[in-house]
Amino acid sequence: MTQKIAYQGEPGANSHIACKQMFPELESVPCASFEDVFELVSSGGADLAMIPIENSIAGRVADIHILLPESRLQIVGEFFLPIHFDLLGIPGSTIEAATEVHSHIHALGQCRRLIREARLRPVIAGDTAGSAREVREWNDPAKLSLAPPLAAQIYGLEVLASRVEDDPSNTTRFVVLAREAELPTRDELPGPAVTSFVFRVRNVPSALYKALGGFATNGVNMTRLESYMVGNEFAATMFMADVEGHPGDLPLQLALEELEFFTAEVRILGVYAAAEFRTRQAASS
């Protein structure tokens, strides 16, 4: 039986592209919402999930920092996807004759130069690939779509301009989720690793400073730290972090032990191999 990987969005979305590039042998399953993706994997309807967690321009993806810790799913991998947008129209359409361009609000914001130069009116759609599907359905040469390259193939649209994003370095980081299992040992994960976790500091002065001190003194590189509120309490703050290394490595082991001393809660979300993109970027910096 073919294994399945779920993603949020319509066929042709960037999440779909990430699934196909990282797991070409798996069946990609579109879902209407992130909640649907988490539920499908939790219930056994899909084996994995591909979830965008942060973007180099737009920052963190909304709601994921809340959904992920509550889902009880486990991060088992990561994938970095360079984000490219093409300007698409129905066969026979031209940029000169078009008046509107439809896409997700982030895509419209990341392609301002083209929109301004072509004098197109931006129209917000719920999804980049969904806007391509709608343009195909409307069959109106005056309406164009900004969508990932895969959307043109799926919906039979013509590419009027390629890679029209303002910043060619725009990249989205995805995490791969699976149902909870035993964390991989250091022997099972011999190369560069990433550990993701959430924690809540104790309500004492300088608690965050003290909690993070162990990572500095043990030489552990923290690549991501974000805070979010818990429920409706402004005093209860959770933090989500990514660090380089495996909990079996002595420096990280010591840092996590010190973290627990100053926190009310610590939970590891996943231990997984660092993506090649991350290791290349570190080597070039």
> CA 85, CA 149: separation in Å to the nearest integer?
7
> What length does the chain have?
285
* Cα–Cα distance measured from residue 220 to residue 245, given in angstroms and rounded to the nearest whole number: 8
Show the tokens assigned to 219.
């030489």
Integer Cα distance of 151 and 14 in angstroms: 9
Q: Which whole-number Å values give the CA distances from 95 to 103, 176, 221, 243, in the listed order?
A: 16, 38, 47, 46
Asked if residues 170 and 83 have their Cβ atoms less than 8 Å apart, the reply is: yes
Give catalytic residues, as residue numbers: 172, 174
Q: Is the dihedral of CA 139, 144, 148, 153 positive or negative?
A: positive
Q: What are the CA-CA distances from residue 43 to residues 8, 40, 46, 48, 75 (Å)?
A: 16, 5, 8, 11, 17
Q: In 3D, which of 25, 81, 88, 10 has the Cα closest to residue 52? A: 81
